[in-house]
Amino acid sequence: MGHELLPTNAKISSIRQNFRSDCPRCGASVETLIHPLKDCPTARATLTIGGLYGRLLNKYHLCCANWIEDFMHLLDKKAVIDFITMLWHSWSNRNNYVFRGNEDEAQVIWESAKTLCQDFWIYNLVNKSIEGWGFKDEDMTVDWEKLYALEESLKITRSLNIPNAIFETDCASLANKVKKGKEDITIIGYHIKEILKTMEMCNNAAVNWINRSCNKVADFICKYAIINDCTLVFGMDYPKEIHDLVIDDSIN
């Protein structure tokens, strides 16, 4: 990719003798291209403001192209454009330090990139929003909503070391996508593949479609709590009505 030709210190030192290869800002031993865009403290702070987390921020990448490719698997077209815009501002900030001796704070870099994009959105559907991030001017599709619910349920299952689990959803489209997860090459398909990898850590885990009427237990609990002014404390001794509904639901 052409961006690998950008003049980082590591690149310049490879063609010019006695030129330092370290980062001029933080002193890291080698300033490769991915360093000023992702690993340098100012760049990392800028990305963190946007709610980027987990492997997108902490996973080791040998080169910048691999890191950007990881993002492109998870971002829609609009978000990719916004992401590249912010990277360009991070690179410009690096140059300001090299040639002028000063750099902007992370918040200023983010604001500069945001002003160029009226609907600035980078992958942040799960994280809580920070300074206005994480919102999109359109409703989330049902598939994505249900997928995130499934993902959170799976996290709880793993944290409790539950070996066998059946995850139920009333979204037929999501259930079908999970069944054919390895064949789906869309963005949501890639996300499903990541979830399936986690499910494989369980002894036995499956995702089943259920009729919407199976929500009657949850509906009853909500109504029951409202009737009792939400003062009930969950314990082992549930009201008999709940036990009866659960048994009836499991049989039918």
Please indicate, yes or no, whether residues 45 and 13 belong to a single structural domain of this protein: yes
The residue-averaged pLDDT of 44-54 equals 70
The residue-averaged pLDDT of 217-239 equals 64
Instruction: Please write the tens of the pLDDT for every residue from 65-116.
Output: 777 777 776 666 666 777 777 788 888 888 888 888 888 887 777 677 666 5
Is residue 205 scored above 80 in pLDDT?
yes
Please indicate, yes or no, whether residues 153 and 233 belong to a single structural domain of this protein: no
- What helix, strand, coil percent values describe the chain, rounded to 5? 55, 5, 40
Please indicate, yes or no, whether residues 12 and 92 belong to a single structural domain of this protein: yes
Which of 210, 226, 244 corresponds to the end of one domain? 210
Judge contact between 118 and 99, C-beta under 8 A: no
Please indicate, yes or no, whether residues 238 and 202 belong to a single structural domain of this protein: no
Instruction: Please write the tens of the pLDDT for every residue from 156-175.
Output: 777 778 888 888 787 777 78
Q: Is residue 227 domain-resident?
A: yes
DSSP state for residue 15 in the 8-state scheme:
T
Q: Is residue 127 domain-resident?
A: no
Q: Is residue 205 domain-resident?
A: yes
| CA gyration radius, the chain | 24
Question: Which residue segment(s) compose the domain that 103 sits in?
Answer: 2-115
Could you tell me the pLDDT band of residue 213, with boundaries at 50, 70 and 90? low
Q: Is residue 132 domain-resident?
A: no
Which of 210, 225, 240 corresponds to the end of one domain? 210
Please indicate, yes or no, whether residues 176 and 75 belong to a single structural domain of this protein: no
8 vs 29: CA distance, rounded Å: 12
Please indicate, yes or no, whether residues 153 and 184 belong to a single structural domain of this protein: yes
Please indicate, yes or no, whether residues 104 and 7 belong to a single structural domain of this protein: yes
Q: Is residue 19 domain-resident?
A: yes
Please indicate, yes or no, whether residues 100 and 205 belong to a single structural domain of this protein: no
Judge contact between 28 and 39, C-beta under 8 A: yes
Please indicate, yes or no, whether residues 238 and 197 belong to a single structural domain of this protein: no
Q: Is residue 85 domain-resident?
A: yes
Please indicate, yes or no, whether residues 12 and 111 belong to a single structural domain of this protein: yes
Q: Is residue 104 domain-resident?
A: yes
Q: Is residue 101 domain-resident?
A: yes
Please indicate, yes or no, whether residues 100 and 149 belong to a single structural domain of this protein: no
Task: Tell me how far the alpha carbon of residue 183 is from its chain's centroid.
Answer: 22
Single-letter amino acid, residue 234: F
Could you tell me the pLDDT band of residue 252, with boundaries at 50, 70 and 90? low
Among 216, 214, 140, 206, smallest CA distance to 175 is for 206
Please indicate, yes or no, whether residues 204 and 217 belong to a single structural domain of this protein: no
Number of separate domains in the chain: 3
Judge contact between 228 and 239, C-beta under 8 A: no
